Each structure stands twice: as C-alpha cells, then as structure tokens.
Amino acid sequence: MTIIDDEAEVEFIPATSEGKPDYDEIDVSAKSFWLQTSEEHEEVYRVLRQTRPVSWQRPVEDAVTPDPDDPGYWAVVRHEDIVRISKDNETFVSRQGVLFDLLPEVFLEMSQSFLAMDDPKHSRLRSLVSAAFTPKQIRKIQADIEKRAAWVVDRIVGKGTIDFVAEVAQQLPMHTFCDLFGIPDELREDVRSAASDVVAWTDAELLGDRSADEVQVEACVRLHEISEQLIAERRANPTDDLLTALVQAEVDGEQLSDFEIGSFFVLMSVAGTDTTTQTTSCATLALTQHPEQKAWLMEDFDGRIAVALEEFLRWASPVMTFRRTAVAETTLGGQTILPGDKVVMFYPSGSFDETVFGDPGTFRLDRNPNPHLVFGGGGVHYCLGNQLAKAMLTAVFRELLTKVPDGRAYDPVFMDSNFMRTIKRMKFDVNG
C-alpha cells in the first residue's frame, strides 16, 4: 500500500492520468449537465449507480481556478461508497479542499475552515467550536428562532404574490446566523450578500462581468473584514453571543486565532444560511406540488414534523457535491484509487439510491428510516449545525402552515451551480 504521510505540511503526490480508464461517456463535468433539472440529474445518477458507481471524469467545467494539469476525478454516486469515504478519514482527506478544483491554500483556510482540515488540526478547531454550542446557547437560539420565524411569516400575511426566497426562505437563516454572532442590523445585508457570492461562481447572472475567483475572494475578504471588526469589539466588550464564546473558548489552554474565527464565520455564513434557505424553498415547492403530503403533515404537525423534516432535507439535497482527496491506494466500486486522486461524492445520488430508499423518486413525508446524506455520510466531518437547521425548519414551517396554509409556490429560478442546488427566486401566492 502506498501511503502519504498525513501531516498537513507534507506535499501531496499530484494525481495523474496514468493508469486511468478513458473518461466516462456519461459526462457529469459538463456545464450542460449542471444546467439540467434535479430530475434529469437523477436519471443519469441511476444509470451510474447501477452500472459504474465509481467513474473517471474529465475536469469539471466552470472551475473557480482552472488547472491545465488537472487529470480529472472519480465520481462516486452510491450511498454505501459515500458513507465509506466520509468515515475513512485516514484514506480520504479534506485538507486539499472540498470543491472540484484545487484552490490556493490561503483561500481554503480563509473560506472553508475545518471543512478543509484533517486531524489533529480538525479535531482541535471543531472541539473549540463545539464547546461554544452549549445547552444554554442552544436553548437561547431555540427561543430566538421561534420568535424570528413568527416575525418572518407575519410580515407576508395578507400580501398577494411575493418572492418566497427573498421574503421568507432567506430571512430566518440569515437573521438566526446574525443573532447567533451578534451582528448588528446595519451589517446584516452585507453579510447575506457576501455569503451568497461565495457559492455563486458558476452563475452568469450573479457573476455579471466579474470572474469566478474574483467573486469568491471579494466575498471572503468582506466577511473576514466584518468578523475582524466584531472580534475586536467582543474582546473589548464581551457579550453572551456565539462570537464571544468563540473568542473566549479554550481547549488545553489554547484559543482560536482571529483568522480561524473569521474562517469559521465565513463557513457558517454559507453553511448556516444557504443550506437551510434552500431546504425551505425546495420543501415549500414540494408541498405545493404534493398537496396530499401537505395535508398529511397539517393533520398532526407536532407529531409528524420530525420525520417530515428528514424528507424535506432528502428531497432538497442542497449540497450536491463534496470532494475528498486520497492519500493511500485503495479500491472503491471496483476501481483502483491512487494517492492524489480526487474523489467527488454526489450527495443527491446517494440520497436517492434505490438500494437504500424504497421508491426514492416519491416525495413521502412518512419515510422512516431516512438515512439521507444531506449532513454528510457520517465521520468526523458530520454537519455540526444539523440540529440548528432542523430547529429553523420546524419553526418556519409551523408558522407557514398555520398562518398561510393555502400558500402556493411556483416558477422557481435555479442558480447555475455544480456545488449547491439553489433557488434564486420563486413566486409564492400567499392566499393560494
């Protein structure tokens, strides 16, 4: 077995095309593929799952930083293989980043926080962050979420047709994140805008005349500048918010640096807002399209919402791809994976795997068990904020189904992306 030392400072052996099969005839790297609907994606994934669950693909189009020497990557579409990769952090590591392409190290550190780290650095940072999510903090967050959800929905009651994303779906996650970090009102729109730009590198409408790397760097710099301002304020005048907890948290006498806190701030501004926003939008659209499921949930909301949330998440599958990099030779799905090879997990495919989910193409709120991969496939990188996301979703759907039970969503406009399934805007008739 060929193994690369698992120390961050040791260079990776770059992947090569030597010994690789031809690029697969099913091309999931093409921009045209990512412009298709999720239903069309699933038709392709189904073929790959059943015939070649690990396929060699050409470099993805619309890379943030295109690399002429990039030989390609392995596309992994089966549930069991995604779980294996997620749990085997000795063979498949994160420190080279989680996107398709190889990004500069400084950009990884400033934008992906512990997502792009491995142990022991990952454990150190995650333990510090986890220490800030105390039961007291979660209880405080829960109360604030419920109040904010009521405020969000009360604002649309009596209106006609609205943009659901802007007026509902974005509001609760954005304000919850900002409340969590103690971000003042005058900075909240700047934070929301910058967080949206972080994942907008493939969408022509959102890019305008800017390059993909320009958009990402500018967005990350803006978020770091905001965090630096807030960190300085918390050091001078501590409060009871999460940012203060992060500033003061210690493990073995060691604190986070301002840069590490800023990187976590960038990560949370995206992971803590966009993913929940998209699940809210996609689930609302699904409830409109499947009125019998909506009726079932409304019959006993409190008794059924916990299981229904899991189907909301599976159906939305907001994060579509996540990468690991192999540091040891191994076999996966009948293919030989070599050190340096990029391995990309296609989460929606795993969450619709017919060997795990009965009738996966049916939106069924009573589906149980529901081992979807929305929060990852387990292991050390399992989503830290999963309970927070579920609390937000529970609160907003309780308010929506109680106060605007006849609301109807339609005409979603999706962002062009190979990373996040994002509804940019969607019409919603408040009164049906």
Q: For position 161, which CATH number holds?
A: 1.10.630.10
298 or 4, higher pLDDT = 298
Question: Which residues, other chains included, contact 140 with Cβ-Cβ below 8 Å and sequence gap of 6+?
Answer: 240
pLDDT-derived band of residue 131, with 50, 70 and 90 as boundaries? Answer: low
pLDDT at 135 over 80: no
pLDDT at 74 over 70: yes
First-to-last alpha carbon distance for the chain, in angstroms, is: 61
Per cent of the chain over pLDDT 70 is 87
20 is a domain residue: no
Q: Report the pLDDT averaged over residues 134-139.
A: 63
Query: Can you read off the two tokens belonging to residue 29?
Result: 């790297």
331 is a domain residue: no
CA distance 255 to 244: 12
Per cent of the chain over pLDDT 90 is 63
Tens digits of residue pLDDT in 140-197 = 778 889 999 999 999 999 999 999 999 999 999 999 999 889 999 999 999 999 988 8
pLDDT at 227 over 50: yes
pLDDT at 2 over 50: no
CA distance 92 to 379: 11
Query: Can you read off the two tokens belonging to residue 109?
Result: 């550190």
User: Backbone phi, then psi, for 285, in 5-degree steps?
Assistant: -65, -40
pLDDT at 85 over 90: yes
Q: Are strands 73-76 and 92-93 parallel, antiparallel or unpaired?
A: unpaired
pLDDT at 114 over 60: no
pLDDT at 5 over 80: no
pLDDT-derived band of residue 358, with 50, 70 and 90 as boundaries? Answer: very high
Q: Looking at residue 4, what is its pLDDT? A: 34
285 is a domain residue: yes
45 is a domain residue: no
250 or 244, higher pLDDT = 244
pLDDT at 10 over 50: no
Q: Report the pLDDT averaged over residues 60-75.
A: 89
- Residue 429 and residue 405 in contact, taking contact as beta carbons nearer than 8 Å: no
370 is a domain residue: yes
78 is a domain residue: no
Q: Looking at residue 110, what is its pLDDT? A: 64
39 is a domain residue: no
Mean pLDDT of all residues belonging to the chain: 88
What total of structural domains would you count in the chain?
A: 1
| Containing structural domain, residue 273 | 61-70+96-323+351-429
Question: Which residues, other chains included, contact 423 with Cβ-Cβ below 8 Å and sequence gap of 6+?
Answer: 165, 169, 278, 281, 282, 285, 412, 413, 414, 415
288 is a domain residue: yes
Q: Looking at residue 352, what is its pLDDT? A: 99
CA distance 315 to 339: 34
